[in-house]
Amino acid sequence: MQQQEKHSQAMVLGLQHLLAMYSGSILVPMMIGNALGYNTEQLTYLVSTDIFMCGIATFLQLQLNKCFGIGLPVVLGVAFQSVAPLTIIGQSHGSGAMFGALIVSGIFVVLISGVFSKLARFFPAIVTGSVITTIGLTLIPVAIRNMGDNVPDPTLGSLILSLVTVAIILIVNIFTKGFVKSISILIGLVIGTTLAAFMGLVDFAPVVKAPFVHVPTAFYFGMPTFEITSILMMCIIAMVSMVESTGVYLALSDITNDPIDETRLRNGYRAEGLAVLLGGVFNTFPYTGFSQNVGLVKMSGIKTRLPIYYAAGFLVLLGLLPKFGALAQIIPGPVIGGAMIVMFGFVSLQGMQMLAKVDFANNEHNFLIAAVSIAIGVGFNNSNLFNSFPTELRMFFSNGIVMASLLAVILNAILNRKKK
C-alpha cells in the first residue's frame, strides 16, 4: 500500500513537471515551423514528434550507467537558443540542411563530452552560484511576457489571471504541508486554467484539430544535407547549451545532495548529444536541461528520479496521442506566466543560497566575480548592443547565461589563482 502511494504521488509530481514545461516544449517547434511556412499537417507532425522526443531525451538523461545519463531529476526540453540559427538555416538552405546540421552537432557533443566534463573543476561555488542566479534573473522577463500573454498591449484580464495564479501557489505553499505543498505549481495551473475558462480565455481548438494517433517517422521532411556553415553554427549553439546544462546539473546536484563528478557530467553531455542526434533523424530540434527544473525541484522537494520517469512517460504518450497532448495546450499564457514567476524566483534564490556559502569576508575578489558576472549576464541578455555583429557572434554575446558563465570562470581563474 505504501509503495502504491509512493508511485501515485510520484505520478502527480511528474504531471506537475510536465505541465510546467509543456508550453516551452511546443513553443520552439511552432516558432520555427511558422517561420519556415510549414502547413498545418507539418506543424502537427513537428509538435507531436517533438513532445515524443522530449520524453525519449529525458529517459536517456535519467539513466545512471557507464555510458550515458546524468542520473538527476531533470526533464529535457528544446533549447530556446536554437530558434534563431535554425530559422536562418531553414530559410537559407532548406529543412534538409537544418536537420543535417543537428545530426552532426549531436555527434560533435558526444565526441567532446569527455573534454567538456573536465570543466567542472572551473565551477566552484562562486562561479556556480553566480551562473544560477543569472539564469533565474534572465528568465524572469520571460515569465513577465507570459503574464501579459506575449502581446504588446496586455489586457487587465491577463494581469488578473496571472496574479491569481501566483496567489494560489503562495496560499498552497503557506497553508499546506507535505505532498499537497509539493504540487503547488500544479494546483495553481489547474485552478488558474479553470478560472480562465470561466473568463472565456481558454481555446479548445488545439484539442479539436489534433489527430488521435501519431507515429514519429525518420526523415519526415526529406533526407538531410550537410552544409558546412550551418554545421559550424549548430556546433557553437550545442556548446552554448552544454554550458547552460552544466549550471542546471550542478544546481540540481546541490538541491538533491547528490554529488556529480566528471564521469557523470560526461555521460550527461553524451545523453544530450544522443538526444540531439535523434532529433535530427526524426526531424525535431536540439534538447537541453530546462532551467525550470531547478525551480520545480526546489519547490517540490523531489530527491529521486521516479517522478521524472513518470513525466518522461507522459511526454512519450502525449507525443503518440496528440488529442490528449493538446489538452495541455489550453493552459493560457498568463497562467503559465504566473507559475513561471514563482519558479524562476526560486532558481535565482538557489543561486543566492550557493553564493551564501562563499567566503566573501576574507576574499574581496569574490565580490568582484559575482558582481561583474551577474551584472553582465543580466544586462547583456537579449541586448541590442551587438546588433551590428555577425549573427553567430550576436547570438553568443547576447546570451546572458553564457556570458555570465565565461566571465565568472575567467575572473575566478585570474583573481583566485593563488588560493587554489
Mean pLDDT of 208-230: 87
Query: What does the pLDDT look like over 367-392, one tens digit per residue?
Result: 999 999 999 999 998 888 888 888 76
Please name the residue that has the C-alpha cell 566552484. Answer: 124
Q: Which of 345, 282, 327, 308 is nearest to 23 (CA)?
A: 327
pLDDT recorded at residue 162 = 93
Q: What is the pLDDT of residues 241-255, one digit of tens each?
A: 887 788 889 889 988
What phi and psi values does residue 224 have, to the nearest 5 degrees? -70, 150
Is 166 buried (19+), middle (13-18) or exposed (0-12) by CB count in 10 A? buried
Most confident region among 77-86, 142-151, 261-270, 295-304 by mean pLDDT: 261-270
Distance CA 137, CA 355 (A): 15
d(CA 235, CA 83): 14
- Looking at the structure of the chain, the number of domains it has is 1
357-371 residue pLDDT tens: 898 888 889 999 999
**What's the domain range around 403?**
2-419
Which residue, 185, 230, 187, is CA-closest to 346?
185
Percent with pLDDT over 70 in the chain? 95
Lowest mean pLDDT among 67-81, 154-168, 272-286: 67-81
Alpha-carbon distance values, 364 to 218, 328, 375 (Å): 55, 48, 17
pLDDT reported for residue 328: 67
Please, what's the b/e burial string for 22-52 (b: 16 or more CB within 10 A of its CB; e: otherwise)?
A: bbbbbbbbebbbeebebeeebbbbbbbbbbb
pLDDT of residue 416: 86
| Whether residue 418 has pLDDT greater than 80 | no
**DSSP-based helix, strand, coil % in the chain, nearest 5:** 75, 0, 25
Instruction: Look at 172 and 240; give whichever has higher pLDDT.
Output: 172
Is 90 exceeded by the pLDDT of residue 411? yes
Q: How far apart are CA 196 and CA 161, in angstroms?
A: 7
CA dist 63 and 392 (Å) reads 33
Q: Are 98 and 281 in contact (CB under 8 A)?
A: no
Decide if pLDDT at 61 tops 90: yes
In this prediction, residues 269-295 reach a mean pLDDT of 88
